Amino acid sequence: TGESAATAEVSDTPSATADREPDAPTNIQAVAGNQQVTVNWTAPTDTGITGGDGTIGVISKYTVYWGVAGVGTDSVDQADVDVSAGTTYTITGLTNGTAVYFIVTASNDTGESAASVEESATPSDTSVAVVSVEIDGGAAANVVMGNTLQLHATISPNDATDKRITWKSSDTNIATVDGNGLVTPVNANNNFVRITATSTDGAKSASIDVTVKEANRVPGKPTNISAVPGSQQVTVSWTAPTDTGITGNNGTSGVINKYTVYWGDTASVDTNSDKSADVNVNDGTTYTITGLANGTAVYFIVTATNATGESEATNVQSLTPAVSPDADREPGAPTGITANPGNQQVTVSWTAPADTGIINSDGTTGVINKYTVYWGASG
């Protein structure tokens, strides 16, 4: 007894693994919505074999099948999902309250996988409608030129499904509003524009009237500058500016609270001069610069100030102080009158007046050119 004789020798070459489809997708889940269901899944780990040479397959697409009863890959309702779109698909056009059943397959170049486990979901309208829209800040607001106004809208209820708002201006030539409720003024003069916030579904809205105010500005400069010279002084006068400016950051017309007179000995005098005086508006529109040198020109400017700031200065004016000539006048009366009686006569004597008067309308001291004696038998 012992080992048998060997069989006849044969040979063969191992073949590559046969092509096969991928496994079915897993973890099928769904989120029901209003007339729709969003299906999600996980890609299969085994993507199959393709190419006839054992190459690992690549998923080329997924297919979602659905229906109102048990569903298979022969279902009329189906949709291919490109892998670039991910592993989700939303089935739309469904009937709220009616369950929808669905399966998912994966395909490679070899073919389509077996179907996933069947799942179901029931679409329903779970959205919460907007009940009201309110704009924070009340029914009216102001915005100053050069600034912006941020508006905020409050949606009720707080759990409304779609809380998006559309903003609109009634006149974009006065003010514009962007998608976030930011108002930008375009034209002032106290024009107002109505800004409206409307819910996306158009069912609810609220409005606010926004008035565009002028930006703060200093007053205009004084006008009609004039001056009168005197001895060692010059009296400056002016007219108050018509434009008193804007103050208060709300378009309020300004109020002049003071004037300032600046002076110096050159035509380059400006508001940096170390010689100046503030003039209270209650003291009028005049100021006398004193302590000047007669015969030397003085240069001056005037500004007006409101709560916003100081105006531009007037044009430089100049004048030369001098002794004012006296008006023409007669001499003073003679003094020290005496009389000495004689035979049928009286000799009258007097002292010449110290003040000989003014002549020629230029301050020239007068000269006595005669005396006149008047007499009578009584006073």
pLDDT for position 250: 73
Q: At 90, which CATH number?
A: 2.60.40.10
Mark whether 313 and 229 lie in a shared domain.
yes
Do residues 304 and 243 share a domain? yes
d(CA 289, CA 292): 7
Per-residue model confidence as pLDDT tens digits over 262-290: 999 999 999 999 999 999 999 999 999 99
C-alpha separations of 128 from 8, 55, 98, 158, 162 in Å: 83, 52, 21, 9, 8
Q: Give the domain extent around 364.
A: 326-379
Tell me, yes or no, whether 126 lies in a domain: no
Average pLDDT over every residue of 301-324: 93
Q: Residue 366: inside a domain, yes or no? A: yes
Binned at pLDDT 50, 70 and 90, residue 12 comes out as very low
Assess whether pLDDT exceeds 70 at residue 6.
Answer: no
Domain annotation covers residue 13? no
Q: Is the model more confident about 248 or about 226? A: 226
Q: Among the three residues 213, 245, 264, which one is the final residue of a domain in this structure?
A: 213
Residue 5 inside a domain? The answer is: no
Q: Among 281, 299, 319, where does a domain finish? A: 319
Residue 335 resides in a domain: yes
What is the distance between the alpha carbons of residues 198 and 169, in angstroms, rounded to a whole number? 12
pLDDT for 8 equals: 65
User: Is residue 92 domain-shared with residue 175, that is, in the same domain?
Assistant: no
Percent of residues, the chain, with pLDDT higher than 90: 68
Same domain, 38 and 69: yes
Average pLDDT over all residues of the chain: 90
- The total number of structural domains that make up the chain: 4
pLDDT in tens, 42-63: 999 999 998 888 889 899 999 9
Measure the CA–CA gap between 294 and 186, rounded to whole angstroms. Answer: 55
- Let me know if residue 313 belongs to a domain: yes
Please state the pTM of the whole predicted model.
Answer: 0.49
Domain edge (last residue) among 189, 213, 237? 213
Residue 30 lies in a domain: yes
Q: Determine, yes or no, domain membership for 154.
A: yes
